[in-house]
Amino acid sequence: MSRIAYVSTYPPRRCGIATFTEHVFTNVSAAGKRGNRDPIIVLYNENDDRNVYENNPRFWPLPMQDRSAYVKMAKRVNRSDISVVVLQHEFGIFGGEAGEYIVDFVRALNKPLVTTFHTIFSDPKPPYRQVQQEIADLSDAIVVMNRKAVSYLVRAYNLPENKIIYIPHGSPKPRDNERVQLRRQLGFEGRKVLLTFGLLNRGKGIESLISALPEVVREVPETLYIIAGQTHPEVKKREGESYREELQNMIRQLGLEENVRMIDRYFNEEELVSYLTACDLYVTPYPGLQQITSGTLAYAVGIGRPILSTPYEHAQDLLKGCEELLLPYGDIKAWEQRLKELLMDDNALHQWENRIRQIGKATYWPTVGMQYLKLFAKIGEMDLDEKGVKEPNESVVKHVAPTKY
């Protein structure tokens, strides 16, 4: 019986890649009626509870900082009945400079390999270039979550275009029937709620949005801006909580204490979905326009929330046709005006909600899981009918076929 092996971090690890992999695993398993027979080659470090992984047979633990373990794991896979290996690639989850240890695994592997690149540079530099080049060359297929990434990879690494497959970042479905209750529970009743979520760092551009709020609050006094999430651990190591403290000082100086709420804690996915469901407008004022993937943006689109964003790469791709929602970073007047227009017009918010919800339909996790299953079956020469899997509809199949952009 053919099996799929996933290489990634995995819950209970608090990591976006871990959560992403859990969703891919769960939805591929559901689409193919595969149960829990597919193993997860799980990366762990000294901060993880390794017993969680070592005491569960579905996990094949791989210590991220033990370079010799990568080749040993590849040999274990080679001896097994694995038909296809699925690698979730993010530089920071593997050992060595730029996560180079995973290249040892890829070199030693003699099974078909599908790699999802979570970070892609338009102009990659050393040492990231060498690592990603070799993984790309040795992969049988590469998955990207942004159409623009196809041309980046082709140009940077001289790859054949038909090797690169676009599958959108998955998202949960809307939970409309819970919105009123969630707003009550979260204290959002009577407020117009803006939300930014994620690990806090200077790359979020939050100070620019706070700068626009005084003028907005004058016209819409019920405005409430929620900044949800802990400080990024690497940022905390370098500079402690200095950025958070700067934002707090800014909020006080502008007299926005009643209009901005910073929530400094870890949010699990259920909480994130609840906050997204309850907010009126999701905002990503990021200054870095090269960001190729944003999981929270994908979730906001899937849940069908109106969005206001800077035109970074993923926002441009995902919100194509909704360019009115993309504003330049640091243009405070433009942000003031657009925020007031949206927050003062419930009908406009509702219209944008409907438009974004149409985009989000293609990103629901069950749909994305079926796309991955079709790709894995093709690369691993697996029989999709062995458990009675249903054929996906045409809208799913078209994403799996190699496409030119």
Token reading at 327: 């504003």
Helical pair 206-219 and 242-253, crossing angle rounded to 10 deg: 20
The CA-to-CA distance between both ends of the chain, in Å, stands at: 37
- Residue 99 to residue 296: CA distance in whole angstroms: 24
- Residue 214 to residue 220: CA distance in whole angstroms: 10
Token reading at 169: 């970042």
Tens of pLDDT, residues 227-278: 999 998 888 989 999 999 999 999 999 999 999 999 999 999 999 999 999 9
Tens of pLDDT, residues 76-100: 999 999 999 999 999 999 999 999 9
Determine the pLDDT at residue 232: 86
* Position with higher pLDDT, 395 vs 327: 327
Helical pair 101-108 and 67-79, crossing angle rounded to 10 deg: 20
- % of the chain surpassing 70 pLDDT: 94
Average pLDDT score, the chain:
93
Tens of pLDDT, residues 281-302: 999 999 988 899 999 999 999 9
